[in-house]
Amino acid sequence: MEILFATDPSLSLLLLRVVLGIIFFAHGAQKVLGWYGGHGLKGTVGFMNSMGLPLPIAYLVCFFEFLGGIGLVLGFLARLSALAVGIVMVGAMATVHWQHGFFMNWELTPGKGHGIEVNLAFLAMALAVFIDGAGAFSIDRWITP
Confirm whether 126 is domain-assigned.
yes
Confirm whether 25 is domain-assigned.
yes
Confirm whether 115 is domain-assigned.
yes
Q: Which domain holds residue 30?
A: 11-143
Quick one: pLDDT at residue 53? 96
Tally of domains within the chain: 1
Confirm whether 36 is domain-assigned.
yes
What's the pTM?
0.94
Quick one: pLDDT at residue 4? 92
Give the 3-state DSSP-derived string for the chain, with helices as H, strands as E and coil as C.
CHHHHCCCCCHHHHHHHHHHHHHHHHHHHHHHHCCCCCCHHHHHHHHHHHCCCCHHHHHHHHHHHHHHHHHHHHCCCHHHHHHHHHHHHHHHHHHHHHHHCCCCCCCCCCCCCCCCHHHHHHHHHHHHHHHHCCCCCCHHHHHCC
Quick one: pLDDT at residue 92? 97
Quick one: pLDDT at residue 95? 94
Quick one: pLDDT at residue 117? 97
Question: What's the average pLDDT block by block, 10 residues per block, for the chain (145 residues)?
Answer: 91 98 98 98 98 97 98 98 98 96 95 96 98 97 88
Confirm whether 6 is domain-assigned.
no
Confirm whether 72 is domain-assigned.
yes
Quick one: pLDDT at residue 129? 98
Confirm whether 1 is domain-assigned.
no
Confirm whether 40 is domain-assigned.
yes
